[in-house]
Amino acid sequence: MSIEVAARVCHEAIRALQQATGDPEPVPSWDAATEEQRRSTILSVGRALAGASPEQVHDEWRADRDAQGWTWGPVKDSRARRHPCLLPYDQLPPVQQVKDKLFLAVVAAIGDAG
């Protein structure tokens, strides 16, 4: 299975989790996602396939967001490029840590199936 297909599956799993947990701004579907969102997910899948831990995947996501001009904010606001998860992994709320673990679990399951 290609990394892009795996990224699509991971993206949709995270989207479903965000919707189920009441995220006020869940990511759009893969087909409606921005190039930046798709690229970020593809990079994270590559990191996961390389054996990164949830903390490492999160730290790399955070560094990528920083490089794109995002800053921490108490509420996710894509237009203002603010995100409440731009924190060290150990400071994330439990549901956000679960999201990172789910991401890695989906990548592993896809890898095992492929």
The per-residue pLDDT string of the chain (114 residues; one tens digit each, 9 = 90 and over) reads 689 999 999 999 999 999 999 988 899 999 999 999 999 999 999 999 999 999 999 999 999 999 999 999 999 998 999 999 999 999 999 999 999 999 999 999 987 765
pTM across the whole model: 0.88
Cβ atoms of 92 and 101 closer than 8 Å: no
Instruction: Give the model's pLDDT for residue 113.
Output: 66
What contacts 58, CB < 8 A, 6 or more positions away? 85, 89, 92, 100
What contacts 17, CB < 8 A, 6 or more positions away? 98, 99, 102
- Spatial separation of the C-alpha atoms in residues 59 and 103, rounded to whole Å: 14
